[in-house]
Structure 1
């Protein structure tokens, strides 16, 4: 067989392979259309193997490794948080010190990432400005003196200012023209004036992690018991953003995981909060607690969830998603409960599922 014959065969095989890849991508694109839960999987603690699981709720189809399937390359970072804004997904890539930007409809990465952030944690967007909590380049985990909030101009995707917020800023929320910052290594919440970037503080009973906003632009925040800042006053706190007064509601065992641990239902009448504790064998187990906003009381929604990592609520139908991570090297699961907490459906996820975004892909 001559060289031209071999070349023809090789070209034909390449063409078939390319066509197969294109057909697979087209199938994924078509099957994703509908109401979708996009699940971020953190990955391994010492690796850069974060990924996404897409669950098409309308068609009951689950897609693993959806980023690699659509973009043709591995994500290659740990996913700390993500936010949807203006048809873009902003992905906080912790191990890569960057914010990746993905088209929320196609799930393709079409823009260069935002850099000049060190150990980023959480992102929130206000108009054309994004705010990212960052631990800093070489964090001192005792007091976090060098942590900050990166202020980013989304027109240029450039960091325009770093606002000093010591103490380990974690979750963020914008309410009543102010940026509220949960502080994870000191007993306070920072408040940033968005006009002047000046920082003030609200004293809290415990360190804080993540926020949920009600319809009046007031905030609930998780208060957690951690190794570095132990407390018996963990629970949730209500912050009136008009005067920054605080009402605390104690519930021991609120999850200190870095994941979605607090979420409102659609009409903001109830909060769902993840609890988690380690047993004598260092196995994580916990529950989803329902906090009645009117009565200010907790009740157990779902219990005995081994490996619970977080909780999220589908705003379209009020289904409650319990994010489960059996261990650091085993694929995760998501338990999906209806609003009556009946026997859940189960879908597979990647390593350490931690956040969910619900959207309609057209």
Structure 2
């Protein structure tokens, strides 16, 4: 998210330096591209789990036209997205979609797209001979992408060449680990949720694994609540972990980890689906299949606070939350009604549009202007 912020506000989108010899009135001029607005919103739709065929899709909402193409990926690329897509993240001028794939075929991959057009640049395969490696989540650090996998590995992708340049096998004792889920970066380290998966026998089912990104080696395992699945980092270096429990006698929880000490510093018995953080703004989707709500998360105290929604509109199973770094609006993906709604940071609904089934993550296409600056 830090890299997205820098890109969106004119550092890496375009930087052309015109140099002179600085004699007389000659000056160096920097031409940058700055965001002026949001022109469209991409929504990843997971689709019903293990439904027949390619159940996942990406929708696109054109803000100026107030129109949506529910299967935009298929329309632009002439093919279906795939089966059981799980994550969509934006880094620089590209979007990365993690497609877990089916249980019985070698159809797992990360699809890299141009964020302005939605067109595929490259599909990076994550497959063995007979089945996929089931990639799950992706995060970024210093022009590298890190992907968690259900076979217990972390894959590192070079974001320039779009090739996998390293892999790290995590361990559960002497055995290879399984069922890795959420990933986040803080303080030069990668934090990986070792979930219970589908009762995988070798899964790190109550651990967050810490990987030093300078050496790309495991440095620690942090014991957390059972079945950690989601993890998100703050700019100040704290991490929030959502653990789902076992749905029987171990309750869900949210825990905070310090990236300075790599220790759990707080535990709350919150039943959360997801957390979205952008700078000092944070929102959490709570009790989404019971009495759903979207609450503010105080990043100082680690406590939930007031509701996001202030205009009386309904929440409808908030399966995914994404904060737009341009204006701090919040995209709420509603799984039960196959819609996404956009709320201002003050909690007023700006607009809503239909998607395909089980909408989740959002990414953004922006409008730009060129700005000349003297150095």
**Contact 2:139/2:146 (<8 A) preserved:** yes
Q: Secondary structure at the match of 2:236?
A: coil
More relative contact order, 1 or 2 (CA 8 Å, 6+ apart): 2
2:24 pairs with 1:44: no
Match of 1:288 among 290, 294, 300: 294
Q: Secondary structure at the match of 1:110?
A: strand
2:335 pairs with 1:325: yes
Partner of 2:17: none
TM-score, normalized by length of structure 2? 0.72
Give the superposition deviation at 1:153. Answer: 4.1
2:246 pairs with 1:226: yes
Partner of 1:310: 320
Q: Equivalences for 1:194-213 in 2 at 5 Å? A: 194=213, 195-213=215-233
2:98 pairs with 1:83: no
- Unaligned runs of 5+ residues in structure 1 are 1-32, 137-146, 256-260, 280-284
Mark the CA change 1:313 to 1:86 in structure 2 (over 3 Å): closer, same or farther: closer
**Contact 1:152/1:161 (<8 A) preserved:** no
**Contact 2:192/2:210 (<8 A) preserved:** yes
Q: How far apart, in 1, do the equivalents of 2:42 and 2:345 lie?
A: 20
Q: Give CA-to-partner distance per residue, 1:222-254, whole Å, 9 cap, x none.
A: 2333337x534x342222111112222414322
Q: How far apart, in 2, do the equivalents of 1:206 and 1:172 lie?
A: 16
2:127 pairs with 1:107: no
Partner of 1:248: 266
Q: How far apart, in 2, do the equivalents of 1:56 and 1:114 lie?
A: 30
Mark the CA change 1:88 to 1:156 in structure 2 (over 3 Å): closer, same or farther: closer
Q: How far apart, in 2, do the equivalents of 1:106 and 1:296 lie?
A: 38
Mark the CA change 1:134 to 1:304 in structure 2 (over 3 Å): closer, same or farther: same
Q: How far apart, in 1, do the equivalents of 2:272 and 2:287 lie?
A: 6
- Unaligned runs of 5+ residues in structure 2 are 1-36, 102-106, 172-176, 197-204, 369-375
Number of residue pairs aligned between Structure 1 and Structure 2: 302
Partner of 1:151: 156
Give the superposition deviation at 1:196. Answer: 4.3
Mark the CA change 1:188 to 1:115 in structure 2 (over 3 Å): closer, same or farther: closer
Q: How far apart, in 1, do the equivalents of 2:288 and 2:57 lie?
A: 26
**Contact 1:131/1:149 (<8 A) preserved:** yes
Q: Give CA-to-partner distance per residue, 1:174-200, whole Å, 9 cap, x none.
A: 222211102222222100122141342
Mark the CA change 1:312 to 1:112 in structure 2 (over 3 Å): closer, same or farther: closer
Partner of 2:372: none
Give the superposition deviation at 1:134. Answer: 0.8
Match of 2:342 among 333, 336, 351: 336
Q: How far apart, in 1, do the equivalents of 2:100 and 2:162 lie?
A: 21
Q: Secondary structure at the match of 2:122?
A: coil
Q: Equivalences for 1:28-67 in 2 at 5 Å? A: 34-47=38-51, 48-67=54-73
Match of 2:133 among 93, 99, 118: 118
Q: How far apart, in 2, do the equivalents of 1:315 and 1:156 lie?
A: 25
Bigger share in helix: 1
TM-score, normalized by length of structure 1? 0.74
**Contact 1:135/1:148 (<8 A) preserved:** yes
Q: How far apart, in 2, do the equivalents of 1:316 and 1:62 lie?
A: 21
Question: In terms of mean alpha carbon deviation, does 293-302 or 74-83 score higher?
Answer: 293-302
Q: Secondary structure at the match of 1:111?
A: strand
Match of 2:195 among 184, 190, 207: 184
